Structure 1
Amino acid sequence: MTDVALKRSFGERLPAYSGFAAVLSGAGLPIYIYAPKFYADTYGASLTALGAILFGLRLFDVVQDPVLGWIAERLRAARAVAVTLGAVLLALSMVGLFAIAPPISPLWWFGITITGLFTAFSFLTINFYAQGVAKAGNLRGGHVRLAAWRETGALLGVCLAAVAPTVLGESFAQPYAIFAWGFAGAAMAAAIAMLPEWRSDGAQDPTPIKEILNDTMARRLLILALVNAAPLAVSSTLFLFYVESRLMAPGWEGPLLLVFFLAAAGSSPMWGALAGRYGEKKTLLAAMGLAIASFAFVLFLGAGDQWAFAVICIVSGATIGADLTLLPALFAKRMAVISPNGGQGFGLWSLVSKFTLAFAAVTLLPVLELTGFETGADNPDSALWTLTLLYALVPCVLKTVAVALLLATNLKED
């Protein structure tokens, strides 16, 4: 990026979008990776019970996220205040989840704090992406350029959140508590940086959800996002267990997560450039094929293969950069046409994105437990082989389905 382009981007306040996206991503995927294992290791919570709580929360989201989208569209005049309050709830929930010893049953405390965390996460995400629809309309490069800044920031935020507990654990007795307090400070700083961006042009009537779902392209993009996100949800849910118990490489979790998400962040500009040259559909198909190949290689790994797995993390991480950059940009383009307010549409998008993670947790964690798998224990070969199949084969199948859906979807590329 040239100095002129960089100055223009700062003038357009795109770094504020990157920073806000970084905070949101830090509250999303890493929490699904770390929170269940943290509560299982620290408080002896059942993996099945934790998975059930996460799935129950997603059932709640079926009602909550569309309602939050409706509220987001009607709070235009007070959006800055509402988002700031949401950021406060996000920060407090993170502190409660990791930095405060449960004053009640750990499972109840986990449920309360994770509900607060993801309610705030949903509300902030819906407003953030809806605001992006309006922002991109007046931005050179439009939705793809905004998505590149936003999703690069999001992936860098994931990198920091993913590696922070491991790095902090080398010097501090309570790394998760320190991470939680640091996250709370970052959340408030990001909210302040974004304050000038929230539109205050008065209340507007929301677009009915039925109207969005009746749109063929919007509906297909939502279905594609659901299926395509499922492989990442599966690998994220099982990542820590796979590295610790299948690769027999405790201590490698943080570095491998960092490699994975850095590859995703570093690849985002590349995928945006390729999409501009070859079209979003061809670019996504290429990334999906590469993802299937990388997951397939995992089936042949075992104890001591952490270096080979690191290479796979680089390749598979790069493919995630395409998913997280191009699919939201495509959906935002469609929302600009059929639902300029964006709130209801991104309420559905938020629901789809989170549902895959919860569904993975409620199905995979009990299956592991039924095979006799125990975190940090000497597990039987049958349990380890089940872990490998769940981690590698299931994503291959899901990604293949996503390829078929994309091939059948008309993106109306110019």
Structure 2
Amino acid sequence: MLYPRVSLYAMMLASAGIPLYVHLPQFASVNLGIGLGALGAILLVIRLFDLIQDPLIGWAIDRWPGAQLWFALAAAGGLAVGFPLLFGLTSGPLAVPKLVLVLLLLFSAYSLGMILLYGRSATLAKQSTPRELMTLAAFREAGMLSGVIFAAIVPAVLVALGAAGQGYAAFGLTLGGFALFTAAATRPMWKRPAVTGQPLSAMSLTQAGAVRLLSLAVINSLPVALTSTLFLFFVEDRLNLPAYAGPLLVLFFLCAGLSVPLWARLGQRIGAKQTLLIAMPLAIASFAGAAFLGPGSLLGFAVICAVSGATLGADMVLLPAMFSIALTRAGLNASAAFGIWSFAGKLALALAAALALPLLEQQGYQPGTKNSPQALFALSLSYAVLPCVLKTAAFAFALTLPSERATQ
């Protein structure tokens, strides 16, 4: 039951990741009356807080390895409290400070859980071998993607079951309850003896190849951060398919989840780098295809969702596994390193929101209303063209990585 528990804990954490960025812009603008530009600024400020917080969380996990159970419970507890508070907020003069405080709680709990889960890869793997670490990564990322699908569709399901409004209040309570259940069900895996390594330094990270992988992670995260942030806007206002937003989002993440075992197996056979170089051009093609879609292009966008979702599965399983393998081979403390990794990933999400949302607002784009051709062009540019350019840059960077040995 070790790896299924890893999947369950990952599923809980994933509900505070990409789905929060998918639902938050719409919730904040429609329910709280907060503009897109203001929301982008809020998210960027919180990420500046993470610049200090995430490495300190990683340091604390490595400093007190025997407290990993309590760290795990604290992360789940923060999510259990934070989600009902967030989606229970209402508009008013104090909406912005309340939103900032609740997001700080949620993202801090998310950071703690993510850094712990990834940093303890050697502890949670049955053996500290590249092959076993890749297997662990497959279970972990399958759980992550299951959580993304779960959190993406729950509001729509709750509305269908009679939840008031857009289902967000019930959504918060559901995610909070799920966090409590996960905390109880995954306790045994955090009682395993912690596997620790040597303290980190800039030199040791560089020699292990971890700095190059961190750089790639930031560049590579930007395209999916942009498309995740703007997904609902693109489907509802550019394609005029609001009724299909939920099913298309599920299709995207479902294809990502189904692809994870395939990418993991291929990575074990031909090496992680070569597998990544197969997936990246497919992602570039899918981003480029979205730029040519017009209103009502349901079938074309469904194909793009399937292909881009499958390539997301490669990103999620391969890059963290490559990073973990590099740290394990070098005998380094992984939690502090994954503290930096966690910040890098969230920085990409915040940069995407901070750059794209004010740009769209400046061009006159307003969610859920009739928009001008100029505003819709800016939306297509941000959703499709810019991610294509960024993914091409990530592919060029990946070509410079040293080749990894297959892990079979």
Q: TM-score range by the shorter chain?
A: over 0.9
Moved more, 365-374 or 299-308: 299-308
* Counterpart position of 2:97: 108
Distance 1:103 1:199, change over 3 A: farther
Please report how far the alpha carbon of residue 202 of structure 1 lies from its aligned counterpart in structure 2 after TM superposition: 8.2
* Counterpart position of 1:236: 228
Contact 2:145–2:253, Cα closer than 8 Å, also in 1: yes
* Counterpart position of 1:147: 137
How far, CA to CA, are the matches of 2:297 and 2:323 in structure 1? 39
Matched, 1:394 2:383: no
* Counterpart position of 1:3: none
* Counterpart position of 1:331: 323
Please report how far the alpha carbon of residue 218 of structure 1 lies from its aligned counterpart in structure 2 after TM superposition: 0.4
* Counterpart position of 1:165: 155
Please report how far the alpha carbon of residue 136 of structure 1 lies from its aligned counterpart in structure 2 after TM superposition: 2.4
Please report how far the alpha carbon of residue 222 of structure 1 lies from its aligned counterpart in structure 2 after TM superposition: 0.4
Count how many residue pairs are aligned between Structure 1 and Structure 2. Answer: 403
Contact 2:272–2:404, Cα closer than 8 Å, also in 1: no
Distance 1:205 1:279, change over 3 A: closer
How far, CA to CA, are the matches of 2:72 and 2:314 in structure 1? 28
How far, CA to CA, are the matches of 2:404 and 2:236 in structure 1? 45
How far, CA to CA, are the matches of 1:96 and 1:393 in structure 2? 36
SS class of match (2:365): coil
* Counterpart position of 2:122: 133
How far, CA to CA, are the matches of 2:275 and 2:235 in structure 1? 30
Write the letter of the residue equivalent to 1:50: L
Residue by residue, what CA displacement relative to the aligned partner does 1:292-341 show, whole Å, maximum 9, x if unpaired? 01111111101111221111100110000100011111111111123543
Runs of 5+ consecutive residues of structure 2 not aligned to the other structure? none
How far, CA to CA, are the matches of 2:403 and 2:151 in structure 1? 34
* Counterpart position of 1:274: 266
TM-score by length of 1: 0.93
Contact 2:198–2:332, Cα closer than 8 Å, also in 1: no
* Counterpart position of 1:286: 278
How far, CA to CA, are the matches of 1:288 and 1:88 in structure 2? 37
Residue by residue, what CA displacement relative to the aligned partner does 1:119-175 show, whole Å, maximum 9, x if unpaired? 110011111111222232626841111011110111011011111112222332141
Residue by residue, what CA displacement relative to the aligned partner does 1:245-269 show, whole Å, maximum 9, x if unpaired? 1001112211111000000000001
Residue by residue, what CA displacement relative to the aligned partner does 1:28-60 show, whole Å, maximum 9, x if unpaired? 110011112101001211111110010011111
Matched, 1:297 2:289: yes
SS class of match (1:329): helix
* Counterpart position of 1:227: 219
* Counterpart position of 1:6: none
Matched, 1:371 2:360: no
Contact 1:133–1:333, Cα closer than 8 Å, also in 2: no
* Counterpart position of 2:338: 346
Write the letter of the residue equivalent to 1:228: N
Matched, 1:14 2:3: yes
Runs of 5+ consecutive residues of structure 1 not aligned to the other structure? 1-9
How far, CA to CA, are the matches of 1:112 and 1:206 in structure 2? 35
How far, CA to CA, are the matches of 2:134 and 2:339 in structure 1? 20
TM-score by length of 2: 0.94
How far, CA to CA, are the matches of 2:49 and 2:153 in structure 1? 30
How far, CA to CA, are the matches of 2:43 and 2:205 in structure 1? 26
Identity of aligned residues (%): 41
Moved more, 327-336 or 77-86: 77-86
SS class of match (2:125): helix
How far, CA to CA, are the matches of 1:339 and 1:392 in structure 2? 41
Moved more, 274-283 or 397-406: 274-283
How far, CA to CA, are the matches of 2:329 and 2:125 in structure 1? 13
Contact 2:8–2:182, Cα closer than 8 Å, also in 1: yes
Contact 2:152–2:246, Cα closer than 8 Å, also in 1: yes
| RMSD of Structure 2 on Structure 1 (CA) | 1.9
* Counterpart position of 1:121: 110
How far, CA to CA, are the matches of 2:389 and 2:323 in structure 1? 24
How far, CA to CA, are the matches of 2:229 and 2:72 in structure 1? 29
How far, CA to CA, are the matches of 2:263 and 2:195 in structure 1? 36
Pick one of 57, 69, 74 that aligns with 2:63.
74
